[in-house]
């Protein structure tokens, strides 16, 4: 259905892994309270074994910022026969998490390592851990995502083993949502072709049998950030669109919550509406193209990522051909 490589783009998956590692390191330290099982029995080569329960981590529904909250300290305290100070536990875990997020060496970092160092970690009473991604980290994540979009293998309609014809036929709402998603995907393809004809971007087709497998070859890197590392696409509708892309990848990569066809339709429909709001509010051509070429190119980058996400949800998730025009 969906490529396992999606996990490598998910910010939530990144943070869950880092929280597991931080908990493992803290658990072995002298700071950790007496555990219900001896640390010596843990397989230290596989740090996940030290956490017998799911790591609690959720993204706060905030349109302007990428912000996650974890109750790992609260959940851990509940597993003990006694209750050590929750606030102290949260602060200690937050410190270990900070060290772990900063541990990647710039010489050896790969994919999301450069992104993880841009998270700010904060312990918040009574025992929450908050993680905020800076705009610099968000631009780094966008570039990692666009560099690797071609690795997200697509299913053809015939290959998809989850054809949801009955769901689409039994719900007028679903049919309307799918029609909106198909239109938005075709609109994105049209805008990318226009960007190519105006020499704002260069496009290639990565799979000759899949005309929707578009890849922006130039500019590379896409100018997501300004010279002072601020997010270039800073309009509220642009941020809302980016947040929805983060949400989709987090949902698709969460093994604890299998994604249903109706949820896939919902995610795609929200992305379509967010894209339409973005396109209505943010110009690409005209004065923007003439006065700020980098901004026009970054906005076409958002068009491209939206097209790729819609294509993924339609073809891999629903077994529906993503049209290049209507």
Q: Which residues contact 206 (CB under 8 A, 6 or more apart)?
A: 150, 213, 214, 215
Bigger pLDDT: 323 or 47?
Answer: 323
Q: Are residues 91 and 178 both part of a single domain?
A: no
User: Do the domain assignments include residue 62?
Assistant: yes
Start-to-end CA span in the chain (Å): 25
Q: 202-205 and 128-133: which strand pairing?
A: unpaired
Q: Are 141 and 222 in contact (CB under 8 A)?
A: no
Q: Are residues 55 and 185 both part of a single domain?
A: no
Q: Are residues 12 and 158 both part of a single domain?
A: no
User: Do the domain assignments include residue 170?
Assistant: yes
Domain boundary among 116, 133, 150: 133
Q: Are residues 312 and 175 both part of a single domain?
A: yes
Quote the pLDDT of residue 158.
43
Domain count, the chain: 2
Domain boundary among 97, 113, 133: 133
**Rounded to an integer, what distance in angstroms lies between the CA atom of residue 260 and that of residue 283?**
35
Q: Are residues 204 and 166 both part of a single domain?
A: yes
User: Do the domain assignments include residue 178?
Assistant: yes
**Rounded to an integer, what distance in angstroms lies between the CA atom of residue 232 and that of residue 159?**
39
Calculate the average pLDDT of the chain: 83
User: Do the domain assignments include residue 27?
Assistant: yes
Q: Are residues 272 and 188 both part of a single domain?
A: yes
Alpha-carbon dihedral sign for residues 134, 139, 143, 146? positive
Q: Are residues 285 and 186 both part of a single domain?
A: yes
User: Do the domain assignments include residue 323?
Assistant: no
**Stated pTM of the model:** 0.87
Q: Are residues 110 and 167 both part of a single domain?
A: no
Domain boundary among 115, 133, 151: 133
Q: Which residues contact 307 (CB under 8 A, 6 or more apart)?
A: 185, 188, 189, 192, 212, 214
Q: For the ranges 41-55, 63-77, 95-109, 127-141, which has the lowest average pLDDT?
A: 41-55
- Model confidence at 177: pLDDT above 50: yes
Q: Are residues 146 and 247 both part of a single domain?
A: yes
When computed from its CA atoms, the radius of gyration of the chain, rounded to whole angstroms, is: 22
User: Do the domain assignments include residue 324?
Assistant: no
Q: Are residues 229 and 276 both part of a single domain?
A: yes
Residue 102: pLDDT band with limits 50, 70, 90: confident
Task: Print the domain residue range for 20.
Answer: 4-133
Q: Are residues 295 and 194 both part of a single domain?
A: yes
- Model confidence at 247: pLDDT above 80: yes
Q: Are residues 110 and 181 both part of a single domain?
A: no
């Amino acid at each position: 259905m969906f490529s396992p490589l999606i996990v490598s783009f998910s910010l939530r998956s990144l943070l869950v892994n880092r929280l597991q590692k931080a908990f493992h390191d803290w658990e072995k330290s002298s700071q950790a309270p007496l555990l219900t099982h001896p640390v010596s029995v843990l397989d230290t080569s596989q740090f996940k074994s030290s956490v017998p329960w799911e790591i609690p981590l959720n993204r706060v529904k905030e349109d302007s910022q990428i912000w996650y909250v974890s109750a790992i300290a609260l959940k851990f305290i509940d597993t003990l026969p006694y209750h050590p100070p929750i606030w102290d536990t949260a602060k200690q875990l937050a410190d270990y998490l900070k060290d772990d997020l900063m541990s990647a060496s710039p010489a050896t970092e790969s994919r999301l390592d450069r992104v993880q160092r841009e998270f700010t970690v904060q312990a918040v009473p009574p025992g929450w851990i908050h993680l905020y991604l800076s705009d610099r980290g968000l631009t780094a994540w966008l570039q990692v995502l666009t560099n690797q979009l071609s690795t997200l293998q697509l299913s053809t309609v015939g290959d998809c083993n989850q054809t949801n014809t009955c769901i689409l036929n039994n719900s007028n709402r679903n049919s309307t949502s799918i029609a909106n998603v198909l239109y938005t995907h075709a609109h994105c393809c049209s805008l990318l072709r226009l960007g190519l004809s105006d020499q704002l971007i260069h496009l290639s087709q990565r799979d000759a049998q899949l005309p929707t497998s578009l890849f922006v070859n130039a500019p590379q890197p896409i100018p997501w950030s300004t010279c002072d590392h601020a997010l270039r696409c800073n309009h509220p509708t642009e941020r809302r669109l980016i947040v929805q892309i983060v949400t989709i990848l987090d949902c698709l990569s969460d093994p604890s919550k299998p994604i249903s066809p109706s949820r896939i339709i919902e995610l795609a429909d929200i992305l379509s509406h967010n894209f339409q709001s973005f396109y209505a509010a943010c110009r690409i051509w005209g004065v923007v193209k003439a006065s700020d070429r980098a901004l026009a190119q970054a906005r076409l980058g958002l068009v491209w990522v939206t097209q790729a996400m819609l294509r993924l949800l339609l073809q891999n998730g629903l077994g529906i051909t993503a049209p290049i025009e209507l």
